[in-house]
Amino acid sequence: MLKLSDVTVRYGRITAVQSLTLEVTEGELVGLVGHNGAGKSTTLWAITGVVQPSSGAITFGGRSLAGLSPDAILRLGISLVPENRRIFGRLSVGENLRIGTSARKDRKQAEADITEMCERFAVLGRFFDRPGSKLSGGEQQQLAIARALLSRPKLLLLDEPTLGLAPIIVDQVFEILQGLREEGVTMLLVEQNAARTIEVADRSYVMRSGGRIEFHGTAEELAQRADFEAAYIGMAPAS
């Protein structure tokens, strides 16, 4: 479904992502893990058209994404849950959810899908008319995921969905992702929480500083690599 081939992204003289090759097959949950600043978010920005690669190719369903705007890429079926959730705090939960349907033309079905999301994420139904800013961090993350799902994406990108959340809420977020995976939702998950990501993902890519992929495989394959543990230990976020 998604393929990045030798993608390099530069900000002036700084290379944020270097010769990155990555694939996501339909129905997979693929993890991209690494230190803060390794280039994970930049990879998602390149996929969604926020930044343009200096070299390499990104294709979605066999179609090149080169030169397409973020809006055009959204309409192709790629939806992003951004870092820090970025909900609209002054808007109600319901208004935030309707933003997720803005690219859709099937308005009646879109409203039905909003109702379904409020059943899936019960807190959104309870606080439907409450400003988004009044939700807790974990509740805002549920809103951000629901909003992205309402665009009916073929591919869901998630950028650090557990960042800044309490451990019990981190568990809830990973339970949501596991449930989506079981439903067949295709996802690319960017996370600093490497251990949990590698555990839940079908495959994971491990990115080191400078935007290079050093390891790739299933949890079992990564565990069998003699050189993986030393690198993996150094990936834990600083406390």
Query: What does the pLDDT read at residue 131?
Result: 94
- Quick check: is 212 in a domain? yes
Q: Find the CATH number of the domain harbouring 89.
A: 3.40.50.300
Instruction: Tell me how many domains the chain contains.
Output: 1
Summarised one tens digit per residue, pLDDT across range 35-85 is: 878 889 999 999 999 999 999 999 999 999 999 999 999 989 999 998 877
State which residues form the domain around 88: 2-225
Per-residue pLDDT band at 239 (split at 50, 70, 90): very low
Does residue 232 surpass a pLDDT of 60? no
Task: Write down the pLDDT at residue 49.
Answer: 95
Give pLDDT tens digits for 128-162.
999 999 999 889 989 999 999 998 999 999 999 98
Structure confidence at residue 214 (pLDDT): 85
Is 237 domain-assigned?
Answer: no
Mean pLDDT of the chain: 88
Distance between CA atoms of residues 204 and 87, nearest Å: 28
Residue 224's CB is within 10 A of a number of other CB atoms, namely: 10
Residues in the chain: 239
Q: Is residue 138 situated within a structural domain?
A: yes
Contact 153, 180 (CB under 8 A): no
- Residue 234 binned pLDDT confidence (cut-offs 50, 70, 90): very low
Strands 29-34 and 203-208: parallel
Residue 186 lies in a domain: yes
159 assigned to some structural domain: yes
Residue 26 banded pLDDT, cuts 50, 70, 90: very high
Q: Report yes or no on 130 lying in a domain.
A: yes
Q: Average the pLDDT over 99-108 and give the result.
A: 85
Task: Return d(Cα 3, Cα 63) in angstroms, integer.
Answer: 10
pTM for the whole thing?
Answer: 0.87
168 inside domain: yes
In this prediction, residues 226-230 reach a mean pLDDT of 62
**What's residue 130's pLDDT?**
92
* Residue 60, φ and ψ in degrees, nearest 5: -130, 115
Q: Is residue 231 part of a domain?
A: no
What local confidence, expressed as pLDDT, does residue 236 receive? 44
Per-residue model confidence (pLDDT) at position 4: 97
In the predicted model, is pLDDT for residue 10 greater than 80?
yes
